[in-house]
Amino acid sequence: MKLIFFVESYVSGGSDKVANILLKNLNFKEIILIINKRSDTKLILKNLDDKKVKIVKYSLITPAEIHNFVYKFRNYNIGYFFIKIISQLLIYPLLLFSVFYFYLVFKKLKASLFFSHNGGHPGGLFNGTALIASTIISNIKYRYYAYHSNPVRYRLYLIFFDYFWDRIIEKSSKIITISHEASKNLKKLRFFKKTPTVIYNGIEKNKIKNYCSSQKLKILHVGYFDKNKNQILLLKSLKILIENSITDIHLTFIGATLDKNEKRNFQKFILKNNLTNYVTIKGFTENIKPYYYENDLLICTSFVEGFPMSILEAMSIGLPIISTKAGGTVEQVDDGVNGFLVETNNPLELSRKIKYFVDDKNEIIKMGNASFKKFNLNFEIKKMVDNYNLLLKDKL
């Protein structure tokens, strides 16, 4: 049987790594990957078998691209308000057109199953219209819709649209989430009634880090620069630590820049507070594994997360984690066991948790070992792939 694997758009983050793993390991002889022509495909297409995975690129401008364009004008007050209204008026005819567009694309493919990857709302509206298009194709008997983010609350001013959108998706497909927290929030924050299937993300096993005693605590942050990733929270905590004469710390930030304004604010904060000697900034790095081995601790500072791959990658080599309570992070980090969970925007609390590891380096090894153990029990790649294949098994 033939599977359509649909993706709207990507930044170089975790969900494209998961897509790449699934494309390589799902039990289908032929998978048709349908992806945005303007997507960053460095990770999703890495080392795919071109005999198994056929690529079809679509060229529609996505709602997410329109949103990102409009967001550039956010400092123009009234102008931004009118541009935002115009963009909303453009998006809904575009969504309607996309249903017919994808119908014509899918009709030629003669597939039996449809799989929507990264169908978060509102970031993945084409995931929804592609799903709707698939319901019109008689050949496509089974549909799956995987959310790779933590759901956002319905919008009051668009409550009718959000209600009908959610109900159509739920009635048309089998819903998958990547954490129990996301599953719970789909019912709490949205209009879904059934409990989704939860399949944790997984990655390959790695060797545990060989810890060497070092006076300096080396901290890693992995994530593209935008408002959600909230890297500046870590800088604020660093400032508090230095003001309290705790200076044996170095931060390394790795990630592409999605929001140039956020990156500028980040760099200004470093200069204003004389933090240059304590911080290293890297861009997008394809081979990130060496950085995990070189550092002692991973910190995630996001406001919203689905199930961060950076945390899984750190756990897979035995790093302790400090993370904000953001979506599925609460299922990756057992507070006080393999790291700490902190409030979303509390630099003082975060600084205290960092100081805990400064004061007792043995806790890095202890909690790192707990991370490694938890990873191997729950988040290894084979477990994820087996769960997806089991879900699809009856339909093959």
pLDDT tens digits, 337-381: 999 999 988 999 999 999 999 999 999 999 999 999 999 999 999
Same domain, 8 and 57: yes
241: left (phi over 0), alpha (psi -120 to 50) or beta: alpha
Instruction: State yes or no: pLDDT of 74 exceeds 90.
Output: no
Instruction: State yes or no: pLDDT of 10 exceeds 70.
Output: no
* Across 287-308, average pLDDT: 94
Same domain, 342 and 322: yes
Structural domain includes residue 68: yes
Instruction: State yes or no: pLDDT of 80 exceeds 90.
Output: no
Structural domain includes residue 211: no
Distance between CA atoms of 131 and 108, rounded to whole angstroms? Answer: 16
Kindly report the average pLDDT of the chain as a whole number: 91
Structural domain includes residue 212: no
pLDDT, one tens digit per residue, over 187-230 is: 999 999 999 999 999 999 999 999 877 789 999 999 989 888 99
Instruction: State yes or no: pLDDT of 12 exceeds 70.
Output: no
Beta bridge partners, 146, equal: 117, 176
Residue-level pLDDT at 264: 93
47: left (phi over 0), alpha (psi -120 to 50) or beta: left
Same domain, 9 and 122: yes
* Across 245-264, average pLDDT: 92
Same domain, 126 and 65: yes
Q: Is residue 66 helix, strand or coil?
A: helix
Distance between CA atoms of 323 and 298, rounded to whole angstroms? Answer: 8
Residue-level pLDDT at 179: 94
Which has more confidence, 317 or 150?
317
pLDDT bucket at 67, cuts 50 / 70 / 90: confident
How many distinct structural domains can be found in the chain? Answer: 2
Residue-level pLDDT at 88: 79
Domain, as residue range, for 89? 2-202+381-393
Residue-level pLDDT at 122: 47
